[in-house]
Structure 1
């Protein structure tokens, strides 16, 4: 997806949130704030986006959005239980309607046989207590993995919001 298409996706997401009077927050690790950047690139986004959390380190995940240290120890940062806690923690910290979380291995280092480079977990939570998680394995270099993760986060968030509308 090129930059123009990413911008269109962000506009669609913003329009859906605006129509519902809903807000969104982000909790990002491997994308380093790229999801929040795409959301806030849209004029008027302050109506549906108040804050995002770039929780790159495990310490940040614990301090900023309440991820449990025992969960990080048991499962690692790139895991379903962690993105679940990231999404719920960000949702609560921001008092938002929706949250999206991202944690992955963008590379070129850090991968393993169980979690190769390109492994990215996502969480989508809403203020109704629903949480959905998704696992993707993206090809390419660091930039490609991060871009694909950003697009997937925006698309999946938009699809979840549309299902609730």
Structure 2
């Protein structure tokens, strides 16, 4: 496990636990890496509710309630889908906060509008807070995914 990610996840755990919150994740391009980083921390069951890896569009619809029209109109890699993924993670969990990530990690699959390295991260809580950010991450597949995981955890820490 990467020390930087472990330390971030540990800090997230301390913060969530102190506030009495739990978190859930909905991941596409990161393939469960956020959940894996979180569960590396001993005692994470006190503050991590669940992680959903919804790699296919069907999984996003079936498990998170992402609207098929949103997928058709904006594509799986979009702010709208990231927000619906986060909302779905909250609706289908006992969590107070959710992180959702969707993106193009490459090496293929990019376009002029959404090149490889395009990642959307959404953060939501049960009190109505919602934020989404588009990243343009340079590097190879591993580097893109790692930066998405790092930014996802840093983002929720900044909102807590």
The bucket for the TM-score relative to the shorter chain is: over 0.9
Q: Where does residue 24 of structure 2 map in the other structure?
A: 25
Q: Which residue of 2 aligns with 1:119?
A: 118
Q: What is the match of residue 134 of structure 1?
A: 133
SS of the aligned residue for 1:31 comes to coil
User: How much has 1:4 moved relative to structure 2?
Assistant: 1.0
1:115 deviates by: 0.0
> What is the aligned-residue RMSD (CA, Å)?
0.9
CA deviation after TM superposition for structure 1 residue 5, in Å: 1.5
Per-residue deviation, 1:130 = 1.3
The SS at the match of 1:148 is helix
Contact map agreement 2:49 2:94 (CA 8 A) in 1: no
Unaligned runs of 5+ in 1: none
Q: Please give the TM-score of this superposition, normalised by the length of structure 1.
A: 0.95
In the alignment, what sits opposite 1:55? Answer: 54
1:100 paired residue number: 99
1:95 Cα offset (Å): 2.5
- 1:6 — aligned with what? 5
Aligned to 2:148: 149
Instruction: Report the count of equivalent residues.
Output: 160
Q: TM-score, normalised by structure 2?
A: 0.98
Task: Describe the SS at the equivalent of 1:5.
Answer: helix
In structure 2, the partner of 1:77 is 76
- 1:89-123: per-residue Cα shift (whole Å, max 9, x none)? 10110121000000000000000000000000010
